[in-house]
Structure 1
Amino acid sequence: MKIDVRFSVEGLGDAELSGATAVVIDVLRATTSMVQALASGAKAIYPTASTEEAVKLLQSIGRDDTLLCGERRTRRIEGYHLGNSPSEFTAEVVAGKRLIMNTTNGTRAFLAAESADRVIAAAFNNLGAVTVAVAGVERLVIACAGRSGAFALEDTLCAGHLIRRLRAAGTDPLILTDGAIAAEALADAFPVGDTLASTAAGRDLAEAGLGDDVADCARFDVHSVVPELDDRVIRLPHGG
């Protein structure tokens, strides 16, 4: 298996993604919230690149059983039903609902990766299930959402743990790009919980009174779901 880790989705295009499986990671907090939402029974998640696109899509698919979700500068977007905290996406709130989601980095990362043969959402919360789901692929591109086009330690750390899991599962040989080598080294060097709290995104969340989100996002293997993007909609494949 050849593994590439991209520290952001800037410049990620068809040449890198054609024929590959892409794993999109936005630990703080979009992919963690997506995993939580679908594990709680949400029907589907529609990632959008802007609030304007989200509102237009809501008008198109209808307001019945549809919730607007997302954030700007960590805060819930005005007029939206939900923000981007994993704890908001409970079964009582989202079961049977369609979610239109718009976040600063994560939803845009899915749209940037959509030309891959398969696009999967990963976080620490579902890392074991993702490991199993991608174990047999020939080429894996791990696309870190990053932070406004720049490196985000928490996403790369999660990518490194995915590589560690694949190595431990006996997925050989692993052929790593320089980015993948660096990600695995970070996973070996930094403890997840303390590191997430110390990142720029973690500090921003704490300052906004959302420090509990960081702890939620640092938990390993809470869920066994593997969300996948298909035709710009993120769902659980085969209803699983």
Structure 2
Amino acid sequence: MTLIADSLRLRSETLCMAFIYTNKYHHFHASSALPSPADPLDPHTLALASLSLATKSTESPRRLREFLLPAYALLQPTAAPLTFPSTLYDALRATLVTAELILLRVLRFDIRLPQPLDYVPRFLSKALALPGTEHLEGLAEDEREEVSVVEASETALGREVRAVVLMAVRDYRLVNLFTARTVAAACFFVAAERMGVVLVGVDETGREEWVKRLTSGRVEFEDFEDAVEEVGKVLGQPREE
């Protein structure tokens, strides 16, 4: 899914949402009351349906053939390229449309779900607002360009946080057991640790207060700690106490 998304030059927000849809779909089937619920979507079809639906919810629309042609080439590397129009293309297109409808029903047609990347800009603004740097936020666009002032998300820390978030949303537990805000705060903390960035106010005694300031008191500290541990597992680097 990531390769298709990058090939189509989709934003990180779109890929993030697609992973959330996928995990919500798996959660729906895992929690079904039926004894052995049938899963009508194979992993590849689910990935394409999730990505296609995510382009709509994040206002990055792409045509279905833009998904089907490269996906077919990846899955059938020795076959002749999928052509448009063709009987095979029409069949695959119908399958993808049906898959999107199934996914929509699973999501109860609520496709504008909160995602961790929604919270990253404001977290970065808070963390990077050190004394003596306040004036940079108020610069006009032409002034920012003149002296090469980048957006907070394009700083080294910002890029690392977004990369960690994109890894975290692949995880079933992080998507389904924690709020998007909690996951964002955990990813922010883990990304800073990975980069060796010293966050003001973060130490063994002040960490809870730091979480409260970062999230405006909207994330329970225990949930944050659990999410940090889960993110560490996803990255393959268990947290060291």
Shorter-chain TM range is under 0.3
More helix, by proportion: 2
TM-score normalized by structure 1?
A: 0.28
Whose Rg is larger? Answer: 2
More strand, by proportion: 1
